[in-house]
A and B are shown apart, each in its own frame.
Chain A
Amino acid sequence: AQTVTQSQPEMSVQEAETVTLSCTYDTSENNYYLFWYKQPPSRQMILVIRQEAYKQQNATENRFSVNFQKAAKSFSLKISDSQLGDTAMYFCAFMKIQGAQKLVFGQGTRLTINP
Chain B
Amino acid sequence: NAGVTQTPKFRILKIGQSMTLQCTQDMNHNYMYWYRQDPGMGLKLIYYSVGAGITDKGEVPNGYNVSRSTTEDFPLRLELAAPSQTSVYFCASSYSQAPNTEAFFGQGTRLTVV
Nearest B-chain residue to A6, judged by Cβ: B42
Complex contact B107–A104 (CB within 8 A): no
B20 at the interface (CB under 8 A from A): no
Q: Is the pair A108, B107 in contact by a Cβ cutoff of 8 Å? A: no
Interface footprint category on A:
20 to 34
Cα-based distance from A45 to B43 in the complex (angstroms): 11
Contact of A101 among B40, B88, B96 (CB under 8 A): B96
Could you tell me how many residues of chain B have their Cβ less than 8 Å away from some Cβ of chain A? 26
Residue from B48, B58, B92, B101 in contact with A33 in the complex, judged by beta carbons closer than 8 Å:
B101
A59 CA to B41 CA, complexed, in Å = 26
Contacts of B44 in A (CB 8 A): 105
Number of A-B contacts (CB under 8 A): 56
In the complex, are the beta carbons of B98 and A52 less than 8 A apart? yes
Chain A residues, Cβ within 8 Å of B102: 35, 47, 50
Residue in A33, A47, A100, A106 whose beta carbon sits within 8 Å of that of B42 in the complex: A106
Q: Contact check, A105 vs B92: say whether CB atoms are below 8 A apart.
A: no
- Rounded to whole Å, the gap between the CB of B51 and the closest CB of chain A is 11
Contact residues in B for A100 (Cβ distance below 8 Å): 48, 50, 56
**B window 67-95: CB within 8 A of A:** 88, 90, 92, 94
The residues of B that contact A13 with a CB separation of less than 8 Å are: none
Contact A44–B41 (Cβ < 8 Å): no
B42 A105 Cβ-Cβ under 8 A: yes
CA distance A39 to B2 in the complex (A): 19
Query: Residues on A close to B: CB < 8 A?
Result: 6, 33, 35, 43-45, 47, 50, 52, 91, 93, 95, 97, 100-108, 110
Given contacts A95-B94, A97-B98, A104-B45, 4 further A-B contacts (CB under 8 A): A103-B103, A105-B35, A105-B43, A107-B42
